Amino acid sequence: MSVIGSGRGKLILFGEHAAVYGFPAVGTALPCRTEISPGCLTSETDRGDNKILQEVLSSAAALVPGIPLQNFSRLTQLSDVPRTGGFGSSAALCVAVSRTVLGRTSKEYNREVHLLANQLEKRFHGTPSGIDTGMACDTSAAAWVKCDGEIPERKPLEIPEWHIIYGALPRTSPTADSVGRLRELKNSGDSSVISAMGELGRISELFIEAARIKKKGFPARAAALANQAQRVLASLNLSSEELDTVLELAGELGASGGKLSGGGMGGAFYICVPDRETESRILRILPGKLFRQGIRLTVSLTAFEF
């Protein structure tokens, strides 16, 4: 079956929350994706997904002059992007629809696709930053910097060899609530929040610098920065006891660091590992340890290598 549009899942590495205030965010596209193809519906799940797909296609057709909606009436979507945890499932769908409507079959980053996808993302998130849809348009890692336009500026970033494991925990609060709470505190002049945002931005910049220098000790440096960022995020009440336990147990198995990814209060996280042997050990042992602690993962631990 031919794929006519696709979008990737994503993982934010550094700069979450601080990116809203002009600091760089760093993230990467993941192998998981949403694909749109010609086809027939085979189940009730397909029909539910197709209803959302058709609604997003209708929105896209309204935004792009001269696109007849009837051309897209017999399309289906197939996705392995996790629908929970902050891996960008809605952004992946919006990018897949944008590529379909605009006829852009290339999987490489395209600004026109990004612009349309971010308009469509408003259906799911009222004022999207453009970072999620940017990563869903991409094939690798990049830094994203807020600018005067509707979408952030993309700065490609080649990350040296680095092993991480990602997963997700149940959310205790929507991302919008966390963002809103921090915005209110910052706007009220709360010096601790203002300082924390600056520190998160500085850590993101240090990671970008370390990646570009490509020194031999990059994995250890990246892990140290992840730990530093996690401490700042925890000071903003964005972490959770469950994530603290995940990172502690992973550390006992040889992990060198880790942090939450995205909005926090549950959701996505990643663990830094120094080598494949440690990676294999954590993937084999950590799930059982978490189960015995009563900690449930909403997205299973998955290895990812740069």
Question: pLDDT by residue (tens digit) across 211-268?
Answer: 999 888 999 999 999 999 999 999 999 999 999 999 999 999 999 999 999 989 899 9
**Distance from the Cα of residue 231 to its chain's centroid:** 20
**How many residues in the chain?**
306
- The pLDDT assigned to 40 comes to 54
**Distance from the Cα of residue 91 to its chain's centroid:** 9
- State yes or no: pLDDT of 3 exceeds 80: no
The 8-class DSSP code of residue 20 comes to: G
Instruction: Estimate the crossing angle of helix 44-63 against helix 89-102, to 10 degrees.
Output: 60
Domains and CATH numbers, the chain: 5-156 (3.30.230.10), 163-305 (3.30.70.890)
Phi and psi at residue 30, to the nearest 5°: -105, 165
Q: What angle do CA 91, 99, 269 make, to 5 degrees?
A: 25
- The pLDDT assigned to 46 comes to 53
Q: Cβ of 242: how many Cβ atoms within 10 Å?
A: 19
- For 174-226, how does the pLDDT look when each residue is reduced to its tens digit (9 = 90+)? 777 777 787 787 777 778 888 999 999 999 999 999 999 988 899 999 999 99
Instruction: Provide the 3-class DSSP secondary structure of residue 233.
Output: helix
In order of 131, 250, 259, 263, the CA distances from 172 in angstroms are: 23, 22, 17, 11
What residues contact residue 117 under an 8 Å CB cut-off, 6+ apart? 7, 91, 94, 95, 97, 98, 133, 136, 137
For residue 214, what is the enclosing H or E element? Answer: none
- For 49-100, how does the pLDDT look when each residue is reduced to its tens digit (9 = 90+)? 678 898 999 899 889 988 777 777 788 889 999 998 999 999 999 999 999 9
Phi and psi at residue 86, to the nearest 5°: 95, 35
**Residue 287 burial (C-beta neighbours within 10 Å; 0-12, 13-18, 19+):** middle
For the chain, give the percent of residues with pLDDT over 70. Answer: 96
Residue written as token pair 């998130």: 125
Half-sphere exposure of 184 (CA within 13 A, CB side): 6
